Amino acid sequence: MANKSVFASMRGRMLPKTDAVNKEGAPAYAYEDRQKLAQLAMTGTIGDLFYQDAEVELDAVLDVANKVEPEYLAKAAIHARQRGHMKDMPALLLAVLASRDPQILSVAFPRVVTNGKMLRNFVQIMRSGQTGRKSLGSRPKALVAGWLNSASDRQLLQASIGSNPSLADVIKMVHPKPGDARREALFAWMIGKPCDLDKLPEAVQDYVAYQDRGDGPLPDVPFQMLTHLPLTAEHWAQIARSGSWQMVRMNLNTFLRRGAFGVKGVTEEVAATLGDRERIRKARVFPYQLMTTYQSLSGDMPVEIRNALHDAMEVAVTNVPKISGQVVVCPDVSGSMTSPVTGYRPGATTATRFVDVAALVSAAFLRRNRGTLVLPFEFGVRDVTLEARDTILTNARRLADLAGGGTNCLAPLEWLIARNQAPDLIVFVSDNQSWADTDRRSAGTPMMRNWEKLTVRNPKAKLVCIDIAPYGTTQVKSRENVLNIGGFSDAVFDQIAAFAEDRLGPDQWVGEIEGIEL
């Protein structure tokens, strides 16, 4: 009979040695540069988090963005924008790229700067001096001017909402040469110069006329351009009825405050819009966006609107994979997960926390895979009763309500091993700042060692660690049966499904980025 203690110790020596410490000073594995940039690109928001402030995160981004090849930097920016639908981070990566390789910048720019908000983000970051220069430079200036000339009238009107810099500031900065008299008039009007009103787009002419007379039908312009005017409840009802799906979702409290839901039929129409399956799919709404909306609803919001958001969530998670075999999802509900996903940002802090996203992922898996076991953890595994038939938002709230305590990523694995369970897929959603399980005397992290124990019972088992905060370390090193991915967009669901079905290797998170054609 083989000596089990000897062979057990041999397995321990074969584990990869830790090469970093996390924010709690506990042993961890560092991401290599390309993987670190991918994680920062998909989770970073440059805001103050539980373990670090915005300046530390910005320094980390700039450091690793200057270490990778310019081609990979461009692809990471494209991936973060197109797959993660991130906002500030892709613009920041573009700004770094502007200093490193202006030629590749020209290729990546139109695939990242897809609207006026992204354009203004890029200009703001370039002018800040954080990426090495305070002026745009000839190539970035030409790219910005090109966007201004190629954008539709509607895109320019939408881009004119907001400041620091305003679109007028951007136009004055780059001096775009308009291609025709119509665009020349629009640029002049936007920066407050005299122009031929007859050459303005029809919607702008209607807007100018409405401002002058103060009555009649509302002009077809972004509603934010109308908010300084004395609008009635009926006007707001018209705006609510005609808005895009995302606009309606984002302004529910405004409609309530302005009396739109007091107009006959509007509540029912808005609820029908929110629950429309086809419009939800076309809007490409992320589940966490719906959660943020639900959490922010006024207490006076009509129940029809609340129910419609529950229905919309059920549609939004249809891309959560159905996995064959036993699935276990482990949401981290420790105290460090109570940071808002945007970080603390003056005037822009979201109500949604990392723990809410972890709970949402868990509830979505439970909904799509009825046999899923959910093991919320902090110091230990917490007891919670979840019903698969309850709505996703209801179960997510129950999980998020557990928040508090220290981080022990080992706890769910110990729980499973103690009960002789070896599931086929385990999904962790955590910030990876485990410290309560620290053991510096043995090779690897405690979580890595116990993952090895579990795979002895089920050699086909796979582990997915969704790294939800941009801290740069993990508790289990990527290998054939371990996938580390980052983000809180629904792109991670596709990667989980592919990994579970052997269509994605442990390095394919970076591989997906590298596979982007420039």
Segment 146-176, tens digit of pLDDT: 999 999 999 999 999 988 899 999 999 999 9
Residue 96 falls inside a structural domain: yes
Q: Quick check: 123 and 92 in contact, CB under 8 A?
A: no
User: Measured between alpha carbons, how far is 355 from 364 in angstroms, rounded to an integer?
Assistant: 14
Q: Which of 196, 221, 246 is the last residue of a domain?
A: 221
- HSE at residue 233, side-chain half, CA atoms within 13 A, is 11
H and E: helices and strands count for the chain: 25, 8
Partners of 486 in the beta sheet? 467
Residue 401 falls inside a structural domain: yes
pLDDT over 50 (residue 7): no
Q: What's the confidence (pLDDT) of residue 358? A: 93
Segment 182-209, tens digit of pLDDT: 999 999 999 999 999 999 999 999 999 9
Residue 272 falls inside a structural domain: no
Give backbone dihedrals phi and psi of 146, rounded to 5 degrees, phi first. Answer: -65, -40
Higher-confidence position of 175 and 47: 175
Q: What's the confidence (pLDDT) of residue 440? A: 60
Mean pLDDT of the region 392-416: 94
| Same-domain pairing of 106 and 178 | yes
Q: Is the pTM of this model over 0.75?
A: yes
Q: What's the confidence (pLDDT) of residue 505? A: 78
| Same-domain pairing of 23 and 112 | no
User: How many domains in the chain?
Assistant: 2
Q: Quick check: 45 and 54 in contact, CB under 8 A?
A: no
pLDDT over 90 (residue 15): no
Q: What's the confidence (pLDDT) of residue 343? A: 81
pLDDT over 50 (residue 73): yes
Report the chain's mean pLDDT, rounded to a whole number.
90
Q: Which of 221, 245, 267 is the last residue of a domain?
A: 221
Q: What's the confidence (pLDDT) of residue 161? A: 92
| Same-domain pairing of 101 and 25 | no
Helix (H, G, I), strand (E, B), or coil: what is residue 382?
A: coil
Residue 70 falls inside a structural domain: no
Position 351 confidence tier, pLDDT thresholds 50, 70, 90 = confident
Q: Quick check: 350 and 342 in contact, CB under 8 A?
A: yes
pLDDT over 80 (residue 507): no
Mean pLDDT of the region 404-414: 94
Give backbone dihedrals phi and psi of 177, rounded to 5 degrees, phi first. Answer: -90, 105
User: Measured between alpha carbons, how far is 376 from 427 in angstroms, rounded to an integer?
Assistant: 11
Q: Which of 177, 193, 221 is the last residue of a domain?
A: 221
Higher-confidence position of 470 and 426: 426
| Same-domain pairing of 25 and 106 | no
Helix (H, G, I), strand (E, B), or coil: what is residue 329?
A: strand
Q: Residue 485: which H helix or E strand, with range?
A: strand 482-486
Tokens of 377: 């953890």
Q: What's the confidence (pLDDT) of residue 441? A: 61
Q: What's the confidence (pLDDT) of residue 438? A: 65
| Same-domain pairing of 149 and 25 | no
Residue 230 falls inside a structural domain: no
| Same-domain pairing of 212 and 326 | no
Q: What's the confidence (pLDDT) of residue 278? A: 93
Mean pLDDT of the region 209-237: 89
Mean pLDDT of the region 88-117: 95
| Same-domain pairing of 381 and 469 | yes
Residue 510 falls inside a structural domain: yes
User: Measured between alpha carbons, how far is 331 from 375 in angstroms, rounded to an integer?
Assistant: 7
Q: What's the confidence (pLDDT) of residue 313? A: 92
| Same-domain pairing of 23 and 126 | no
Q: What's the confidence (pLDDT) of residue 498? A: 85
Q: What's the confidence (pLDDT) of residue 234? A: 95
Position 8 confidence tier, pLDDT thresholds 50, 70, 90 = very low
pLDDT over 80 (residue 309): yes
Q: Quick check: 156 and 116 in contact, CB under 8 A?
A: yes
Segment 313-324, tens digit of pLDDT: 999 888 788 888
Higher-confidence position of 126 and 4: 126
- Structural domain boundaries enclosing 109: 86-221
Position 4 confidence tier, pLDDT thresholds 50, 70, 90 = very low
Q: What's the confidence (pLDDT) of residue 334? A: 95
Position 439 confidence tier, pLDDT thresholds 50, 70, 90 = low
pLDDT over 70 (residue 133): yes
User: Measured between alpha carbons, how far is 269 from 256 in angstroms, rounded to an integer?
Assistant: 14
pLDDT over 70 (residue 3): no
Min mean pLDDT across 259-273, 406-420, 488-502 is at 488-502
Residue 61 falls inside a structural domain: no
CATH of the domain at 483: 3.40.50.410
Q: Per-residue DSSP letters for 229-264?
A: S---HHHHHHHHHHS-HHHHHHTHHHHHHTTGGGST
Q: What's the confidence (pLDDT) of residue 216? A: 75
pLDDT over 50 (residue 6): no
